[in-house]
Structure 1
Amino acid sequence: MRLITQALNLFRGEQRAINPSWQGAALIAGNGTTAGKAESLSAVYACVSAISETIASLPLILYKRVDDDGRERAKGHPLYRVLHDQPNEHQTALEFREMMQAMVLLRGNAHAEIGRGADGQVTTLTPLLNDRVTTLQLPNGRLAYDVTDGKGNVRRLLQEEVFHLRHRSDNGLVGVAPITASRETVQLALAEREHGTSTFSNGARLSGILKFPQRLSNDQSNQLRNSWESQHAGGANAGKTAILQEGVEYQTVSMSMEDSEYLASRQFSVEEIARLYRVPPTIIGDLRHGNYSNSVEMNRVFVVHTLRRHMTMWEQAISRSLLTDAGRRMYFAEHNVEGLLRGDSTNRADFYSKALADKWMTVDEVRQLENLPKIDHAQQDQAAPAQPAQDEAGPDQVPGTHTKTQ
């Protein structure tokens, strides 16, 4: 089917989408702020790391449907190894999924080239750099991707040859990253950081003016400015005493850091960026509102309201791009999040106790969730001590005694 589609496209011709938002979605517009520069903010880096590292570390299992509601791991399927073990010769499954998820969060899209075996099954997934991928729309409505290598050569991949993850989209075809949709929030945080860096690099002294009673020539002004900066600018000159002569006065013309509430604005920027990624502030190290009583609940909120969207994105994209129509009816991919949701030992014990009492879980299922081996019931029965047999006794006879017959 793919060969037929390629042949038809040769005769139909191809055209680029006119919509400029289709071009890669890589940069944040304004002030030359790139996704890499945005990630230099600790809050952005922490949010991206919290989501991508957690998603990548969760087991992603390919299951096979059995009977009506049953399922089992499809370890014999080639895609199982690609998702669970190693997607390509250079990366482990964790490294690949962490990279792809981070690209989605920073650039809105992540692409990987699909490699298939002779039987058409997926055998490799190789990530593509976002800055080198341009999305196109063919006349038949399907997508294609122009991929540029380091030498400027361009090759075209069809929709069936690319595994595409996207964040929330404006057109349903190309995703938009949170830092792109709300670029002003990131730019404000960058401006606040640069303000603090500039202030402390100048010895925590804010800008001001020198007032002279007489007029200075241009040469005198330049010499005085250079002399002042060499003696009083920079962290190495912090705390030095300035000596002013001939009626010269120094006057500050900038707000103090207390007047501009610098620290409060920096803390608010952390909350703003955490809000963009829907990450609880306690997850990225802002513990002002965290305590022992709500830490478990914050982890649950992180899984339900932050990770679930991205896990569903992976699972549905796998079904769409990596399985055939027949395969989708038989196989499906799913993350295992039990380890994140089970809470502390007290809550787990109470949960398992109720599950065993209501008989909707077995002891072996509980032990499996706790990474314990199954119980060998045959060996357990052999090791159990034999119970002493009791003879039938009459109403006036003590059990275990015998009556001698005359």
Structure 2
Amino acid sequence: MRLWPFSRSTETRSASIENPTVPVSAANFLSFFGVQSGNLPVVTIDSALTVPAVSAAVTFLASSLANLPLHAYRATKDSGERTGGTLQRILNEAPNDEWSSFGWRKYFWSQVFTGGRAFSWIERAGNTVIGIWPMDPASTQVKLVNGRRVYTFGGVKDYPAADVIDVPFLLKRDQLSSYSPIVMGAKAIQLALAMNDYGSNFFAGGGVPPLSLTGPLPTGPDAMKRAQGDIMRSISTARESDSPIFPIPPGYELKQVGFDPDKGQMTEARLFQIQEIARVYNIPPVFLQDLSRGTFANVEQQDLHLIKHLIAQWAKAFEDELNLKLFGAANNRRYVEHSLDGLMRGDFLGRMQAMAMGVQNGLLMPDEARALDNRPADPSGNGARLYMQGAMAPLGTNTYGDQTDAANNGGVDDAGN
């Protein structure tokens, strides 16, 4: 069976860097000049997470998405009605008897933003969902069996696609494997690791930059080694004694080769790496604690960018996957949905102002606004109605005076209404 409408030709590449078919990648470029890229740090998920910017991006995104309230709804004639029961408990409280909802979803999203994919198995009793269990992506293989996607866990257990929640960071062309953000940003992460290693080694050595000895050099290799040893011992003695002064033979001079201690911190380069890693995740740099270019105005805009162009998109991807796998493709009445209002829980003033505007303009009933903060409904029953402020009236009328006259005349105003 042909899977592609074209045949794949054999690719031939030349070893010459002048061949235009050879990509001028970092490895090829360094090798051309005799530098072995094998000396650079190896990027793995564990090593990448030692870079503060990567760790901050993963934990921030995973925690933010796990913090969003996730509710089950039933479609009605006018809108959606939130439902309770087992499914609501599984989604918003505990997917099983071992995991909390926040813990499950944070683990799920941390796999997406590191290895590039996350899986969870849906446990059913007949057609009823009774639990959701996270799966280790490293132990899960995705393959096609008779044209259908099958998930093999641990090499022994097969699950159909209808029972597996699957969210990739970015699918590859074969539609089975996915790209990892760690792999996609490996060069930027590798450079950050190299700068961290250099900085730690630099300051572990007392912050002394590489030096060259100039002057009348001794003749013979043995004499050169003795002179170099004398200088090294002098530097070591000064460093161990916390003395900034050490003697050198007369007629000689030490010159710096490389960075001085201030430049050894590589502040600008390391700030740029934060921005590079932020681009990998499409996250505003301010959420990686980079306020080097932050102002009151652009930080607020970055906050809007986070919600509109990042959190909302991943929330939509998760909702669609849940709706498909929990209810099936033919379902049109039941659905799950995040409440992005959960992101405002830390902004008390903004949350109160938004709810007040909703109540005063007839968008929210008072009881609905109170329920958003888990407050009880109005016992008088007046909170289950929509209200509108009465300060607005058509020009040329005296609505307030008419209402007063009607109240004084037993419900009839001066116009006889």
TM-score, structure 1 as length reference: 0.73
1:145 correspondence with 2:151: yes
Give the equivalent residue in structure 1 for 2:116. 108
Q: Deviations over 1:357-388 (max 9, x none)?
A: 442322222333344322122599xxxxxxxx
Determine if contact 2:69/2:342 at 8 Å carries over to the other structure: no
Query: Contact conserved, 1:104 with 1:110, CA < 8 A, in 2?
Result: yes
Give the aligned partner of residue 385 of structure 1.
Answer: none
Q: How far off is 1:240 after superposition?
A: 4.5
Of 274, 279, 283 in structure 2, the residue corresponding to residue 279 of structure 1 is 283
Q: Which residue matches 1:383?
A: none
The size of the alignment, in residue pairs, is: 348
Letter in 2 for 1:335: H
Displacement, 1:61?
Answer: 1.0
Shift of the alpha carbon at 1:244? 2.4
Q: 1:63 to 1:341 in 2, by over 3 A?
A: same
Q: Following TM superposition, by how much is the alpha carbon of 1:246 offset from its aligned partner in structure 2, in angstroms? A: 7.0
Aligned partner (choices 166, 184, 190) of residue 164 of structure 1: 166
- Confirm or deny that 1:133 pairs with 2:143: no
Structure 2 residue 47 is the aligned partner of structure 1 residue 37 = yes
Give runs of aligned pairs for residues 4-403 of structure 1, distance below 5 A. Answer: 31-66=41-76, 68-76=77-85, 78-117=86-125, 119-138=126-145, 140-148=146-154, 154-171=156-173, 172-210=175-213, 213-215=217-219, 217=221, 221=225, 225=229, 228=232, 232=236, 239-245=243-249, 249-256=253-260, 262-292=266-296, 295-326=299-330, 328-341=331-344, 347-348=350-351, 351-377=354-380
Q: CA RMSD in A?
A: 3.6
TM superposition shift of 1:60: 1.0
- Asked if the contact 1:203–1:238 (Cα under 8 Å) also holds between the matched residues in 2, the reply is no
TM-superposed deviation, 1:159 = 2.5
Would the alpha carbon gap of residues 71 and 196 (structure 1) be closer, same or farther in structure 2, given more than 3 Å must change? same
CA contact (8 A) 2:217 2:224 kept: no
Deviates more, 1:216-225 or 1:96-105: 216-225
One-letter code of the match for 1:331?
Answer: R
What CA deviation, in whole Å up to 9, does each residue of 1:318-338 have, x standing for no partner?
Answer: 122232345x32211111111
Q: Deviation per CA, 1:135-154, whole angstroms, max 9, x where unpaired?
A: 2222x222223333xxxx64
Q: Structure 1: which 5+ runs fail to align?
A: 1-18, 20-28, 381-388, 393-406
CA distance in structure 1 between the partners assigned to 2:283 and 2:237 by the alignment: 40
| Partner Cα distance (1:290, 1:193) in 2 | 24
Structure 1 CA distance, aligned partners of 2:195 and 2:177? 31
Residue 99 of structure 1 deviates from its aligned partner by 0.7
**Separation in 2, partners of 1:44, 1:170:** 22
Contact 2:185 2:277 in 1 (8 A): no
Quick check: 188-197 or 29-38, which moved more? 29-38
8 Å CA contact retained: 1:87, 1:124: yes
TM-score, reference length from structure 2? 0.72
- Partner amino acid, structure 2, of 1:132: S
Offset of residue 238 of structure 1: 5.8
The equivalent residue for 1:401 is none
Structure 2 residue runs without a partner (length 5+)? 1-7, 9-37, 384-406, 411-417
| Conserved? CA contact 1:203–1:236, under 8 Å | no
Deviations 1:187-242 (A, max 9, x none): 12112212211111111111234467224556983896599379629986665533
CA shift, 1:286, in A, is 1.8
Distance 1:160 1:83 in 2: 17
Identity across matched positions, percent: 24
Q: Residue 168 of structure 1 aligns to which amino acid in structure 2?
A: L
Runs (4 or more) in structure 1 with deviation over 6 Å come to 389-392
Alpha-carbon distance in structure 1 between the residues aligned to 2:41 and 2:382: 71
User: Cα deviation per residue 1:99-122 (whole Å; 9 max; x = unaligned)?
Assistant: 1101101111012233222x1333
Name the structure 1 match of 2:401.
none
Judged with a 3 Å threshold, the aligned counterparts in structure 2 of structure 1 residues 378 and 108 are, in CA distance, closer, same or farther, namely closer
SS of 1:144's equivalent in the other structure is strand
Secondary structure in 2 matching 1:115? strand
CA distance in 1, matches of 2:200, 2:319: 43
8 Å contact 1:204–1:238 — kept in the other structure?
no
